[in-house]
Amino acid sequence: MTDALHAVLAVIKSEQGAAAADVLAVSLSSEFAARAKDEAPQTIRRLALVSPTGFSGRKLRYGPAGGTLGLPWLHRLLTMDFWRQGIFDTLTRPGVIRYFLKRTWGADKIDETLWRYCLLTSRQPGAANAAFYFVSAFLFSSDINQLYERLDGPVWVSMATRGDFTDYRGRHTVEGRKNWQFHAVEGGALPFFEDLPAFTKRLDLYWDADHPSKK
């Protein structure tokens, strides 16, 4: 996933000629964006992380560098030919997807276009691959907290106030650093779906912080 981000940044650089890009990542992709910044700091100017994983108060992650939380036995179990498709079909039923989006929003009202998009993407060839790696924790970094702590460029974090993604007790590891900003943005884990103007107004102030004329 991080390599894919490196590839996208290389394309942006070749097409736009910019030395570094501003990157906004959501949820688990925040871990990939942080790793991309750590591996190639010159390619990313500023990071904006919306509802990032890795700050839960349950357990901070200081595991092996570059490792994952992956459970090989669980992945083997989920992907056995006998029930692999049945499990994926169950996970991606319209009602199940709606249930998890409601938990993401922290409310019954969700974005219906996103729900339909989720249905469409779950029906694409190979869609089950990422889902099973996600469920068996292979997409989660074992070293994400030490990775976050190594970031020396500007980082802005949007924290949800509703839903299942409101635990940011682990932010104490970086909250006091000058390059990190944490803001509680009213709403669920995807605030730009609920109030895009309010979200972008706050985000634009962060993007433009290096340009006094735009403050």
Q: How far apart are CA 184 and CA 59, in angstroms?
A: 21
When pLDDT is averaged across residues 110-137 and rounded to a whole number, the result is: 97
Q: Which residues pair with 184 in a beta bridge?
A: 159
Phi and psi for 65 in degrees, rounded to 5? Answer: -60, 130
The residue assigned the tokens 């634009």 is 204
Residue 11 has pLDDT above 50, yes or no: yes
User: How far from 118 is each of 96, 126, 194, CA to CA, in Å?
Assistant: 11, 14, 17
Q: Tell me: the pLDDT tens digits for 140-177?
A: 999 999 999 999 999 999 999 999 999 999 999 999 99
* pTM score above 0.75: yes
Q: How confident is the model at residue 214 (pLDDT cuts 50, 70, 90)?
A: low
Q: How far apart are CA 47 and CA 126, in angstroms?
A: 30
Residues of the chain with CATH 3.40.50.1820: 2-67+141-214
Q: Report whether CATH 3.40.50.1820 matches the domain 2-67+141-214.
A: yes
